[in-house]
Amino acid sequence: MNKLVALLSVMLVACVVRSVNDPVPVAVQNPGAEPPPGPPGAEPAAYGSGCEPGGVCNFDCSGGGCSFACPPGTTCNIDCSGGACATTCAQDAVCNVDCSGGACSQRCEPGSACHLDCSGGSCNQLCDPSVSTCDLSCSGGACG
C-alpha cells in the first residue's frame, strides 16, 4: 500500500512539473481576418494594435460588431459589411471605414483623419473638425 501511494505521488509531481514547463499557446492576429466571436454579452475584440507606426492595415468584419483601435501614425482601412463596428482613430492616424452594414460609430482623437462611408445608414461620427479631418458620407440616412 505504501508503494502504491509513493508511486501515485511521483506521478502527480511529474504531471505538475510537465504542465508548468509547457509553453502557453498564444493567439496570433491576422490583420485581414475577422475577429473571433466572443462569449455572449462580452465586448468585441479590438483589432488595430498590431499596426506598426507608419504602417497600413486592412481589416474585414463581415460578421459585424467588431471594434478597432488604430494606433498613432497608422492607416487603417476597415470594411464593415456586417455593420455595428466601432472605430477609435488615434492622433496622427488615418481611419477609412466603409460601413455597408450600417450602425457603425467612429471616434476621432485630435489630429486624426477620419473618413466614414455609411451606405447602411444609422452611423455616428464623433469628430471635431477644428482639430481633426472629418468626413462622413451617409447615403443610407439617419447618420449623426
Q: What span, in angstroms and rounded, lies between the C-alpha atoms of 102 and 49? A: 24
The pLDDT of residue 40: 39
Q: What span, in angstroms and rounded, lies between the C-alpha atoms of 143 and 134? A: 14
User: Does residue 18 lie within any of the structural domains?
Assistant: no
Domain count, the chain: 1
The pLDDT of residue 6: 53
User: Does residue 106 lie within any of the structural domains?
Assistant: yes
Enter the C-alpha cell of residue 139: 447615403
The pLDDT of residue 3: 60
User: Does residue 2 lie within any of the structural domains?
Assistant: no
Host domain of residue 90: 46-137
User: Does residue 3 lie within any of the structural domains?
Assistant: no
Residues 71, 62, 107, 117, CA torsion sign:
positive
DSSP output for 42-109: PPPPEE-TTPPTT-EEEEE-SSS--EEEEPTT-EEEEE-TT---EEEE-TT-EEEEE-TTS--EEEE-
Q: What span, in angstroms and rounded, lies between the C-alpha atoms of 27 and 12? A: 29
Q: What is the pLDDT along the chain (144 residues), one digit of tens a residue?
A: 566 555 445 444 444 444 444 333 222 233 344 443 433 343 444 555 567 778 999 999 999 999 999 999 999 999 999 999 999 999 999 999 999 999 999 999 999 999 999 999 999 999 999 999 999 999 989 998
The pLDDT of residue 53: 78
From the list 71, 43, 41, the residue with the least C-alpha distance to 56 is: 71
Model's pTM, two decimal places? 0.68
**Tens-digit pLDDT profile for residues 70-90:** 999 999 999 999 999 999 999
